Amino acid sequence: MEPKIKVEKLTKIFGKTPQAAVKLLEEGVSKDEILAKTGDTVGISLVSFDVKQGEIFVIMGLSGSGKSTLIRCLNFLNVPTSGKIIVDGENVVEFNKEQLSNYRKNKVAMVFQHFGLFTHMTVKQNVIYGLEIKEIEKEKREQLAMDAINKVGLAGWEDKYPSELSGGMQQRVGLARALANEPEILLMDEPFSALDPLIRRDMQLELLEIQSELHKTIVFITHDVNEAFKIGDRVAVMKDGVFIQVGTPEEILENPANDYIKDFVRDIDRTKVMQAKNIMFTPSTLTYGKDGPKVAINIMQKLGISSIFMLESNRKLKGLITIDDAIRAVKEHLPVDDILTKDYHVVEPESYISDIIPLATESKYPLAVLDESERLMGIIARVSVLAGLIETDGNGTDEEQIL
Ligand SMILES: Nc1ncnc2c1ncn2[C@@H]1O[C@H](COP(=O)(O)OP(=O)(O)OP(=O)(O)O)[C@@H](O)[C@H]1O
Ligand SMILES: [Mg+2]
């Protein structure tokens, strides 16, 4: 599939001799040297990346690294000095006035760090404003505005003024205003940075919830690594106007490109990034209808484990057998059905380790990772969760099992 946004060698120079500065960048001259030589500031330098349809692409970096410059180039609040911005196959940089105006009205919408609301307008008036500019008829724009206000959880607040709202609520208005335009692409420049930590967390979750319904293509900026890794499908780490590394949060955690990135991710809470699918492994299993208690004992003894899962032929999880029960079944000639237990915890492949820890704590058995059809994708040994042993990449073997 074609990427939604394809950025090629995008450069923005602030200063008097931008074209000369671009030439120097292409020759490999650094941002600092260019400033010293020409007095021009490099905002972003020859940046290339793709954003997929429906993806949340996060750009993270310290203050001054070029994040805002980049995102403002994407909707032409900053006019790029050189490079291409290809959206749905069309190069925005080559748009004429009318095409650009259409693009900004219909394709993209921006959410700003400091909300950018009109203080003399109510919530609804703020949200509706962009729709009036688009000359959408009254009834339709009322409906779009109220839909957006409901979506961000502000129903009942539509006639209040921004000064009557908390920061988090004001940013909900900012988000509603962007959503009401029904853009395909949302550009969000540090939208939650001005909010208290708790409100911020709510807003992050809410954004993810809205996104799971709307599937927008989102470019999201933050300087907070935890926020970046929580929200981003992929994350780009920016420094001095260039991307140092682009990857999924797991890829960046597992393979930091250099010491700068290592430093950046040092304090990240891995349990909030790594998911069940990252640490599960494929266990030996029994087949229902074929394997009895004797086979179960054999396998458990061979592997030195004390419980084993039993699957139906379509890999659907049937139950678990413990070594004690298997021995009892052999002694008392019990059928398998009598000793199959369901006394284990089930998690989804996408469950975060932080959410799995409480289950692992109270569970006697490994955790079963099931897909939507209840097929066993893998299992997670309790100790690997509890001891924080989350270094494996899901390729573990039976020999590594400590159950
Ligand atoms: N309008 C401008 N005129 C001159 N220089 C600018 C302008 N806007 C940004 N810059 C410079 O471009 C570089 C990147 O700035 P930018 O605002 O993109 O950084 P940022 O990563 O968004 O930082 P922050 O986290 O503080 O928002 C900086 O060196 C900055 O001084
Ligand atoms: Mg900024």
- Mean residue pLDDT of the chain comes to 91
Contacts of 384-389 with C-beta under 8 Å, sequence gap 24+, read 384/279, 385/279, 385/353, 385/356, 385/357, 385/360, 386/357, 386/360, 386/361, 388/270, 388/271, 389/279
**What integer pLDDT is reported at residue 399 of this predicted model?**
37
For residue 270, the CA-to-ligand 1 centroid distance in Å is: 31
CA distance to 253, 314, 326, 340, per residue, from 295 (Å) = 41, 20, 9, 14
Are 251 and 291 part of one and the same domain?
A: no
Contact status, residue 297 vs residue 326, Cβ threshold 8 Å: yes
Q: Which residue, of 227, 247, 272, is where some domain finishes? A: 272
Give SS3 for 155. coil
Q: Take atom 13 of ligand 1 and give the residue whose Cα is closest.
A: 43
For residue 65, the CA-to-ligand 1 centroid distance in Å is: 7
* Claim: this prediction has a pTM higher than 0.85: no
Q: Take atom 5 of ligand 1 and give the residue whose Cα is closest.
A: 14
Q: How far apart are the C-alpha atoms of 307 and 310, rounded to whole Å?
A: 10
**What integer pLDDT is reported at residue 388 of this predicted model?**
59
Are 111 and 231 part of one and the same domain?
A: yes
For residue 1, the CA-to-ligand 1 centroid distance in Å is: 33
Are 256 and 282 part of one and the same domain?
A: no
Give SS3 for 164. helix
Are 114 and 216 part of one and the same domain?
A: yes
Are 266 and 286 part of one and the same domain?
A: no
Are 87 and 200 part of one and the same domain?
A: yes
Q: How far apart are the C-alpha atoms of 230 and 220, rounded to whole Å?
A: 12
If one residue of 12, 38, 41 were mutated to test the ligand 1 pocket, choosing by the most ligand atoms within 8 A of its CB, it would be: 41
Q: Take atom 7 of ligand 1 and give the residue whose Cα is closest.
A: 14
**What integer pLDDT is reported at residue 298 of this predicted model?**
96
**What integer pLDDT is reported at residue 383 of this predicted model?**
79
Contact status, residue 333 vs residue 346, Cβ threshold 8 Å: no
If one residue of 67, 189, 237 were mutated to test the ligand 1 pocket, choosing by the most ligand atoms within 8 A of its CB, it would be: 67
Structural domains in the chain (count): 2
**What integer pLDDT is reported at residue 392 of this predicted model?**
41
Are 266 and 281 part of one and the same domain?
A: no
Are 268 and 285 part of one and the same domain?
A: no
Are 266 and 280 part of one and the same domain?
A: no
Are 98 and 21 part of one and the same domain?
A: yes
For residue 225, the CA-to-ligand 1 centroid distance in Å is: 19
Q: Which residue, of 250, 272, 294, is where some domain finishes? A: 272
Are 200 and 312 part of one and the same domain?
A: no
Please give the chain's pLDDT, 403 residues, in tens: 889 999 999 999 999 999 999 999 999 999 999 999 999 999 999 999 999 999 999 999 999 999 999 999 999 999 999 999 999 999 999 999 999 999 999 999 999 988 889 999 999 999 999 898 888 899 999 999 999 999 999 999 999 999 999 989 999 999 999 999 999 999 999 999 988 888 899 899 999 999 999 999 999 999 999 999 999 999 999 999 999 999 999 899 889 999 999 998 888 888 888 889 988 999 999 999 999 999 999 999 999 999 999 999 899 999 999 999 999 999 999 999 999 999 999 999 999 999 999 999 889 999 999 999 999 999 998 877 776 544 444 444 433 443 4
Q: What is the CATH number of the domain that holds 106?
A: 3.40.50.300
For residue 44, the CA-to-ligand 1 centroid distance in Å is: 9
Ligand in nearest proximity to the CA of 238? 1
Q: Take atom 31 of ligand 1 and give the residue whose Cα is closest.
A: 64
Among candidate residues 160, 169, 158, the one with its CA nearest the CA of residue 203: 169
Domain that holds residue 365: 276-400
Bridge-based pairing of strands 5-14 and 185-189 is: unpaired
Among candidate residues 254, 262, 192, the one with its CA nearest the CA of residue 227: 192
Q: What is the CATH number of the domain that holds 370?
A: 3.10.580.10
Are 253 and 299 part of one and the same domain?
A: no
Q: Take atom 1 of ligand 1 and give the residue whose Cα is closest.
A: 14
Helix ranges restricted to H, 290-368: 293-303, 323-332, 336-339, 353-362
Q: Which residue, of 272, 302, 318, is where some domain finishes? A: 272
Give SS3 for 186. strand
